[in-house]
Structure 1
Amino acid sequence: MKKVLMLLANGVEPMEMAAFTDILGWADLVGDEKIELVMAGLREEITSTFGLVIRPNRQLADLDLNAFDALALPGGFEPSGFYEEALSEPFLETIRHFVEADKIVASVCVSSLCLGRAGVLHDRHATVYHQVGGRRKQQLVETGATFVDQPVVRDGKLITSTGPGTASEVAFLLVEMLTNANNAARLREKMRFPTPSEAWFTTPQVPAA
């Protein structure tokens, strides 16, 4: 059995969280190998970006991080207070623990900024939600990362992505890395998820002027 910790900050985006919840849940139910997902946060109740109230299974402080095989990090919105917890030392120290232990860290959208702030992206390829003006891109680059304008970027055991629409692809890649490619492909078929086109994986987020 594999065990995944999904770390939730107040202000998390529900779709990004749900991609991990559903795809890892299906993998546990019908996949080649059991995958247990544990949701944890810094508080008993979390209010998501759009007002959905979530009660994590566990509190981060109560967990033995050595018991987990991977870390999943959905992103969120600044106006909802996401960065107040997502960039806090308990979150950053958790990221460092998984990276130092050579375990998978799968992040969606702006949660790659958490990896950068934790100091684990120096000279690594990564991406982030990138809009006109490039504020988030600049924040990522300032942490020492090499920005790649692709929807999902894998550098070793680190996965970063660009937005809520990439969350399912991050979750499938996580399943593949935890188990095997055939298992992830069969899971995609059972869940009726199409495979994105080659162009989807290479089209820049912000078209050139």
Structure 2
Amino acid sequence: MKKVLLLLANGFEAYEASVFTDVLGWNEYEGDGTTQIVTCGMHKQLKSTWGFTVIPEIQVNTVDVSNYVALAIPGGFEEAGFYQDAYHEEFLSLIRQFDEAGKYIATICVGALPVGKSGVLTRRKGTTYHLNNQLRQKQLASYGVDIVNQPVVVDGNIITSSCPATALDVAFILLERLTSVENCQRVKSLMGFQDIE
């Protein structure tokens, strides 16, 4: 089984997290059956940006990176405390461990910011939330990231994206990388995103 660690910071956006659970979950049951998602956080209970409460399966300090093939990080809101967890050294260290092991790291929106802060995107291409005077893109650039103004940017093992609207695209790219183009197309079709041929 290919396990994907869904790393949640307090204040995460529930929609951005749900695309990973849904796409990889559909693959587990209806695709090639090889993926499984495991939720992880810094606390025993987490609140999303809009107050949705989640109990992660494991804590950050118990993760054995060798058990996972990829890391998925949804974004969140500063007002909901997202950066308190996302910029914590334990959170950043886990990102570094996944990158050092050459594993995929898939982020949505400002989920790219802790990846940038961790140092693993330095001198690499990436993107993040692009509206509101490009504040978040400027923050990502301050970590030495080469900002690309595209909805989704893939640089080696790291996938970044510009906003919540790209969330499903990121999840499907990750599924394709972990399985195959054909399997990803099948899951998309079964989920109703394209006609089954």
TM-score above 0.5, yes or no:
yes
SS in 2 for 1:193: coil
- For residue 175 of structure 1, report the CA deviation from its aligned partner: 0.4
1:133 maps to: 133
- For residue 9 of structure 1, report the CA deviation from its aligned partner: 0.5
SS in 1 for 2:149: coil
- Name the stretch that deviates more: 50-59 or 75-84: 50-59
1:102 maps to: 102
- For residue 66 of structure 1, report the CA deviation from its aligned partner: 1.2
- For residue 194 of structure 1, report the CA deviation from its aligned partner: 4.7
SS in 2 for 1:36: strand
> 1:2 and 2:26 equivalent?
no
Q: Which runs of 5+ in 2 are unaligned?
A: none
> How many residue pairs end up in the alignment?
195
Instruction: Note the aligned Cα RMSD (angstroms).
Output: 1.2
- For residue 67 of structure 1, report the CA deviation from its aligned partner: 0.7
Task: For 1:124-203, list aligned pairs within 5 A.
Answer: 124-194=124-194
For 2:66 and 2:53, the matched residues in 1 are separated by 28
Q: Please, what TM-score do these two structures have when normalized by structure 2?
A: 0.96
- For residue 33 of structure 1, report the CA deviation from its aligned partner: 3.8
Task: For 1:83-102, list aligned pairs within 5 A.
Answer: 83-102=83-102
Q: Please, what TM-score do these two structures have when normalized by structure 1?
A: 0.91
Q: Is the CA contact (8 Å cut-off) linking 1:73 and 1:106 kept in structure 2?
A: yes
Q: Which amino acid aligns with 1:113?
A: L
SS in 2 for 1:44: coil
CA-to-aligned-CA distance 1:162-202 (integer Å, 9 cap, x gap): 1111111100000000111111111001001259xxxxxxx
For 1:42 and 1:142, the matched residues in 2 are separated by 26
1:74 maps to: 74
For 2:71 and 2:53, the matched residues in 1 are separated by 22
- For residue 8 of structure 1, report the CA deviation from its aligned partner: 0.5
Q: Which amino acid aligns with 2:175?
A: V
Q: Which runs of 5+ in 1 are unaligned?
A: 196-209
Q: Provide closer, same or farther for how the CA distance between residues 36 and 134 of structure 1 changes in structure 2, counting only shifts above 3 A.
A: same
For 1:159 and 1:131, the matched residues in 2 are separated by 19
Task: For 1:30-69, list aligned pairs within 5 A.
Answer: 30-69=30-69
For 2:167 and 2:17, the matched residues in 1 are separated by 8
Q: Which amino acid aligns with 2:130?
A: H
For 1:124 and 1:184, the matched residues in 2 are separated by 26
Q: Which amino acid aligns with 2:193?
A: F
For 1:132 and 1:168, the matched residues in 2 are separated by 22
- Name the stretch that deviates more: 6-15 or 27-36: 27-36
SS in 1 for 2:6: strand
Sequence identity, in percent? Answer: 46
Q: Is the CA contact (8 Å cut-off) linking 1:33 and 1:179 kept in structure 2?
A: no
Q: Which amino acid aligns with 1:19?
A: V
